[in-house]
Structure 1
């Protein structure tokens, strides 16, 4: 926790990842408010909440993994196509 000792608490927090449940809950809450979201919408929701040290490719993989986890646990379903996904909550 060198950043904390150096007084850079904001920087430390920005670079510390939240746990996956936090991100999954954000997606589910947003879907409950908006009923459907594209992959681009989900990217925009999570992008700046992911740690700054992640590259764009790492962020894309992270978001993809979160969506896949929710899909595999029957929480969300894609009502669009593979290329133009439209995610919504499983009713």
Structure 2
């Protein structure tokens, strides 16, 4: 991943109003990741494939999943505190 310089960039980035930085505790990186750019398309990355989801009922499933993950995340001062703790842990 990155070192202190990358973490410093995160700290600066999360102060920008156009940036939505989400922090979650994770013991393992998820095997499936997805990116939503709007309510019409979701890009899904699997271990062995890349999918483009466009069926409205499937897109809604990812919207619900995104909302559930967002509820688990920390933002603002809490996110900056986690980043600061990571910087301290790096020494």
TM score, norm. by length of structure 1: 0.30
TM score, norm. by length of structure 2: 0.30
Q: Point out the structure with the larger helix share.
A: 1
